[in-house]
């Protein structure tokens, strides 16, 4: 049994989708209440001369996904639709944090047989400078302004060096059709990124592209444990017992740069003499500050495009690991979708803005018209906690949930609380699970370094299964409320975390 509750906070009726016998986290609810003071900010700005042009600016709807929990200013799992303005902080600083999913022709037995060699190769490529992703300034410029389409146009600059040997233009064109917005948001400029872009013709390396990132980000190799929707699974090449790859990563320091720039733009256009919002959450108007509005969308697109490319190269990195240890293997992208972004949506001839922070798109057949997913709905990837099951679903395009779904299980303990206790549960977890991090605790030279091993253990404890909600209960909410329905359940073989 699952339930949906509706409550009023200030002027907003908020729908909250919850697992059975659960209540919204108190700290998250307090943060939500602070966030809804946006209504008061909006009222004050509407009365300010020149800030808004025209009328009708409003928050249309707020929903909370089943993995709702405290964030930083705006809770994770918040989906909000506005008209006439956007809220940059409602997509966070990790712009286009999202998921990428691959099917493979590998077997679980083949992987487990070679796991020690795979671990060594993974540490070299992911954490010890072995990833080899050279790019020219022309490629970076094209990436920031045109996303994955820009990389397709400039891939010849790579001369097939490093991981570019896995880049096949024909396959990439196919994969663009399996990526939200073709992995390509158009940006007019690259404000503040000139040094990162570098020399136009020279191939150089950076320390960002091909990075998993911290927190709950990961690359996980999984086994398909159960198939629930055989017709969809067959169309998506999902077979019971098959090996798949799930990647959860974002835009790293590029997203942080764009997030800071967006907040700066909002503060700069704030009316002189008006008290700034107590909650620190700023709005940017669709009309009234056209240059700031343009720069906001460009900065957001820069980061989102980088997020798509980051996940693309993380996929090449694990493919390189497999190739070197197991021999040639097939990997096919099923889908790539953001969790953190702001979407323009036309409803009854008017433009609305759907903000997702820690929530993913869950379009149905109607929303996926014109794509290969038109008969099934949008692929929805919902990972559990590290070491637990993850799910692949198909979206049902429910407007009540703002065409959205969870982006994970959602925390039930803060990282600090998860670190403090449950020694027995942590021991059992580590005995049964393979996690690959930059630190190899079995190394002889680390056995006397209690300080390093303590930091390593704390990082694992913070993301262990007991720190998160039950993923099966979270998935049940989606089914009951017609948000998305399961296609398959996966179990981890090993997880790569920074």
Q: Contact at 8 Å (CB) between 244 and 108?
A: no
Q: Contact at 8 Å (CB) between 248 and 216?
A: yes
Q: What are the pLDDT digits (tens) for 156-205?
A: 999 999 999 999 999 999 999 999 999 999 999 999 999 999 999 999 99
Residues β-bridged to residue 36: none
Q: How confident is the model at residue 458 (pLDDT cuts 50, 70, 90)?
A: confident
Q: How confident is the model at residue 301 (pLDDT cuts 50, 70, 90)?
A: very high
Assign a CATH topology to domain 3-412+468-496.
Answer: tRNA-splicing ligase RtcB (3.90.1860)
The whole-number average pLDDT for the span 368-374 is: 97
The whole-number average pLDDT for the span 332-358 is: 96
Q: How confident is the model at residue 446 (pLDDT cuts 50, 70, 90)?
A: low
**Percent of the chain residues past pLDDT 70, beyond the cut:** 92
The bridge status of strand 435-436 relative to strand 484-496 is parallel
Q: What is the pLDDT of residue 465?
A: 66
Q: Contact at 8 Å (CB) between 262 and 300?
A: yes
Q: What is the pLDDT of residue 431?
A: 67
Nearest to 82 by CA among 342, 461, 321, 273: 342
Least confident of 350-359, 378-387, 457-466, 467-476: 457-466
Q: What are the pLDDT digits (tens) for 218-245?
A: 999 999 999 999 999 999 999 999 999 9
Q: What is the pLDDT of residue 24?
A: 78
Q: What is the pLDDT of residue 392?
A: 98
Q: What is the pLDDT of residue 230?
A: 98
Is it the case that residue 3 has pLDDT exceeding 70? Answer: no
Q: What is the pLDDT of residue 1?
A: 45
Backbone angles phi, psi at 50, to 5 degrees: 85, -10
Q: How confident is the model at residue 453 (pLDDT cuts 50, 70, 90)?
A: low
Residues β-bridged to residue 100: 247, 336
The whole-number average pLDDT for the span 52-81 is: 92
Residue ranges covered by each domain of the chain: 3-412+468-496
462 or 257: whose pLDDT is higher? 257
Q: What is the pLDDT of residue 434?
A: 87
**Percent of the chain residues past pLDDT 90, beyond the cut:** 77
457 or 63: whose pLDDT is higher? 63
Average model confidence (pLDDT) across the chain:
91
């Amino acid at each position: 049994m699952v339930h949906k509750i509706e409550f009023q906070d200030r002027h907003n009726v908020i729908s909250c989708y919850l697992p059975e016998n659960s209540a919204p986290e108190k700290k998250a609810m307090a943060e939500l209440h602070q966030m809804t003071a946006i209504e008061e900010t909006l009222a004050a700005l509407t009365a300010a001369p020149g800030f808004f042009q025209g009328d009708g600016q409003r928050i249309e709807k707020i929903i909370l996904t089943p993995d709702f929990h405290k964030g930083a200013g705006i809770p994770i799992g918040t989906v909000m639709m506005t008209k006439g303005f956007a809220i940059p902080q409602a997509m966070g600083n990790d712009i286009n944090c999202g998921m990428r999913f691959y099917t493979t022709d590998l077997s679980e037995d083949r992987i487990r047989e070679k796991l020690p060699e795979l671990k060594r190769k993974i540490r070299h490529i992911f954490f010890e400078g072995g990833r080899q992703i050279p790019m020219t300034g022309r490629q970076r410029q094209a990436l920031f302004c045109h996303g994955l389409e820009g990389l397709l146009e400039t891939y010849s600059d790579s001369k097939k060096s490093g991981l570019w040997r896995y880049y096949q233009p024909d396959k990439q064109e196919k994969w663009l059709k399996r990526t939200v917005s073709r992995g390509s948001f158009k940006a007019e400029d690259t404000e503040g990124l000139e040094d990162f872009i570098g020399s136009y013709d020279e191939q150089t390396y950076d320390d960002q592209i091909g990075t998993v990132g911290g927190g709950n980000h990961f690359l996980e190799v999984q086994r398909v444990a159960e198939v629930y929707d055989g017709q969809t699974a067959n169309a998506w090449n999902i077979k019971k017992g098959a090996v798949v790859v799930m990647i959860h990563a974002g835009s790293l320091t590029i997203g942080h740069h764009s997030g800071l720039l967006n907040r700066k733009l909002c503060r700069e256009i704030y009316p002189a003499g008006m008290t700034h919002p107590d909650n620190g959450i700023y709005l940017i108007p669709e009309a009234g500050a056209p240059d700031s509005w343009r720069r906001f969308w460009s900065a957001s697109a820069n980061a989102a495009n980088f997020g798509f490319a980051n996940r693309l190269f993380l996929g090449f990195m694990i493919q390189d690991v497999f190739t070197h240890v197991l021999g040639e293997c097939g990997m096919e992208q099923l889908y790539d979708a953001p969790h953190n972004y702001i979407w323009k949506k036309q409803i009854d001839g008017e433009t609305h803005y759907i903000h997702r922070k820690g929530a993913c798109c869950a379009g149905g057949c109607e929303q996926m018209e014109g794509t290969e997913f038109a008969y099934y709905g949008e692929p929805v990837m919902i990972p559990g906690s590290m070491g637990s099951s993850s799910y692949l679903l198909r979206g049902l395009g429910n407007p009540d949930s703002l065409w959205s779904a969870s982006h994970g299980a959602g925390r039930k303990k803060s990282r600090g609380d998860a670190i403090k206790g449950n020694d027995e549960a942590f021991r059992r977890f580590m005995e049964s699970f393979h996690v690959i991090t930059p630190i190899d605790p079995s190394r002889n030279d680390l056995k006397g370094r209690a300080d390093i091993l303590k930091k390593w253990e704390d990082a694992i404890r913070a993301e262990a299964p007991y720190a998160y909600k039950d993923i099966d209960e979270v998935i049940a909410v989606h089914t009951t409320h017609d948000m998305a329905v399961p296609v398959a359940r996966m179990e981890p073989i090993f997880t790569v975390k920074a």
